[in-house]
Each structure stands twice: as C-alpha cells, then as structure tokens.
Amino acid sequence: MRTTVEYLDALRARHQLPSDYALSKRRRTVIAAAALALLTGCATPRSAWDRTDAALAGAALTATVIDWGQTRYIAKHPCANAGGAATCTDPYRETGIARHFIGERPTVGQVDAYFAANLIAVGAIAHALPGPWRKGYLGAVTVIELHYTTHNKRIGIGLEF
C-alpha cells in the first residue's frame, strides 16, 4: 500500500510536472491539517460535551503529547540505549502505529508533522462523534497512548521537546 506522499509523487511523475511544482512533505502536511481543521470547524457537534468528555479529551491530549516527546527523543537519540552512536548496533525505532506513517527511524520533522496531524484528527473525530461513542473513542485513544508511553518509559526512552 502506497503512502499519500508516494501517491502524489507518482502522480507528479506520470503527468511530467517539474520537480519544483510539488509541495514539500511538510507543506503538504500543513495544508492537509489546515484543511481538516477548517472542514471540522464547519461541523456541528452531534451532542454537547460533558465533564467526562472534557476529562477524557484532556487525558488523550496529555498522553499523546507525552508520546510525541518520547518519539522526538527517539528521533534525536536513536542510539541512547547503546551509550552513543559509536557503539550502536540496535538503535531505537518506532514500533507503534505511527511507524506506518513516518517509518521506523523518522526525523524530528516527520515526528512533529505526524503528531500535529494526529492531534487535529483525534479532536476532529471526537468532535463529530455522538456522546457515548465520543467517550469510548477518547478512552481508547488514552489507553493506547498510555500503553506506548509506559512501555517507552520502561525501556529508558526520555522525553524531549
């Protein structure tokens, strides 16, 4: 399965567009995130948010931001578990859901773009869901993020912004 970037690059090549015609990956991500934010801003919530929704959203946001910081740490220090790059034979790598979007050894820019888009998408989906489904969704996001962040902490991954 091709990623969106690969699809757009193949489309550009097929239509013989100049290489400077294509937007950079970062610009495409920013444009997609802005479009998503604008589109979801036009939607009306299916039901009002209560205190439980807000608490779950806060927990999901907090856990996701912690995961973001840990993933940035991995991108900046892939060999921290080996005492430095000179002795590194098995560097840290992304093993969570994000690896399908940013690869096993992402750059800090890829990590930032992914998590910015992820936070927007989680908020947009939560905004569109009716109350009981919203609670389940935000609870699931929180549980998944807590699973990854506690695993990362256990294996010695730090937090860095």
Residue 73 buriedness (CB in 10 A; 0-12 / 13-18 / 19+): buried
pLDDT digits (tens, 9 = 90+) for 72-95: 998 888 876 655 555 666 677 787
Highest mean pLDDT among 1-10, 18-27, 111-120: 111-120
Domain contains 31: yes
Is the pLDDT at 3 greater than 60, yes or no? yes
Give me the domain span that covers residue 104.
24-154
Domain contains 3: no
Q: How many CB atoms lie within 10 A of CB 60?
A: 24
Domain contains 15: no
Domain contains 9: no
Average model confidence (pLDDT) across the chain:
79
Q: How many CB atoms lie within 10 A of CB 43?
A: 10
Asked if 76 and 160 count as a contact pair (C-beta separation under 8 A), the reply is: yes
Asked if 91 and 78 count as a contact pair (C-beta separation under 8 A), the reply is: yes
Domain contains 127: yes
Domain contains 140: yes
Domain count of the chain? 1
Domain contains 133: yes
Residue 121's pLDDT is: 94
Nearest to 6 by CA among 30, 22, 21, 18: 22
Q: How confident is the model at residue 134 (pLDDT cuts 50, 70, 90)?
A: very high
SS3 for 98? coil
Q: How confident is the model at residue 20 (pLDDT cuts 50, 70, 90)?
A: very low
Domain contains 80: yes
